[in-house]
């Protein structure tokens, strides 16, 4: 297995504000209009988490599709704040308990962590990602009221 450092260097990954490493690899030229204004139709990134790094709880105003590429399985969490429902996905090579793809609908809170030395995934966002459409959950009013019950175990990802 390659090291995270080798992959970070080979793919020219940079630090991501939510944690981990990333690089945008595609931004569609086609633009679409949405409630937030014009956005690229689709964006795609590489995203790598090393052991001890987390993708902090955040929310994006577009759908996200995560794809597993290499390394250890990835624990991907999705929380619907309206219904107070937590869903856990483990992305890895397909077998009886894992799938290589996970979907986070627009507006859902999400967080992730590797279950080993590192995980390399890709993420497609449509309409395309714009940092104006991104919020850390910790900055949302009354977010702490949600971190009880099942979600309390994941407060360390804030």
Share of the chain above pLDDT 90, in %: 96
Cα separation, 98 vs 76, in Å, equals 12
Q: Say what the pLDDT of residue 53 is.
A: 97
Question: What's the pLDDT at 96?
Answer: 87
| pLDDT value of residue 16 | 97
Are 21 and 10 within 8 A, CB to CB? Answer: no
pLDDT in tens, 131-145: 999 999 999 999 999
* pLDDT for res 135: 97
Rounded to 5 degrees, φ, ψ at 113 are: -155, 150
Question: Tens digit of pLDDT for each residue in 96-112?
Answer: 889 999 999 999 999 99
Q: In CATH terms, is domain 4-157 a member of 3.40.50.300?
A: no
> Two tokens at 99?
């799938």
* 150 confidence band (pLDDT: 50, 70, 90): confident
d(CA 67, CA 71): 12
Question: pLDDT grade, residue 49 (50/70/90)?
Answer: very high
């Amino acid at each position: 297995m390659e090291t995270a450092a080798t992959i970070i260097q080979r793919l020219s990954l940079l630090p991501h504000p939510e944690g981990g490493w990333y690089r945008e690899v595609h931004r569609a030229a086609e633009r679409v209009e949405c409630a937030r204004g014009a956005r690229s139709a689709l964006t795609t990134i590489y995203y790598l988490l090393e052991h001890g790094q987390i993708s902090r709880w955040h929310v994006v105003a577009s759908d996200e599709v995560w794809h597993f590429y290499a390394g250890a399985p990835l624990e991907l969490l999705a929380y619907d704040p309206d219904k107070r429902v937590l869903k856990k996905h483990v992305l890895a090579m397909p077998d009886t308990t894992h799938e290589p793809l996970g979907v986070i609908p627009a507006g859902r809170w999400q967080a992730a962590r590797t279950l080993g030395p590192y995980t390399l995934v890709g993420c497609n966002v449509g309409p395309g990602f714009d940092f104006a459409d991104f919020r850390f959950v910790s900055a949302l009013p009354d977010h702490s009221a949600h971190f009880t019950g099942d979600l309390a175990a994941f407060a360390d990802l804030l």
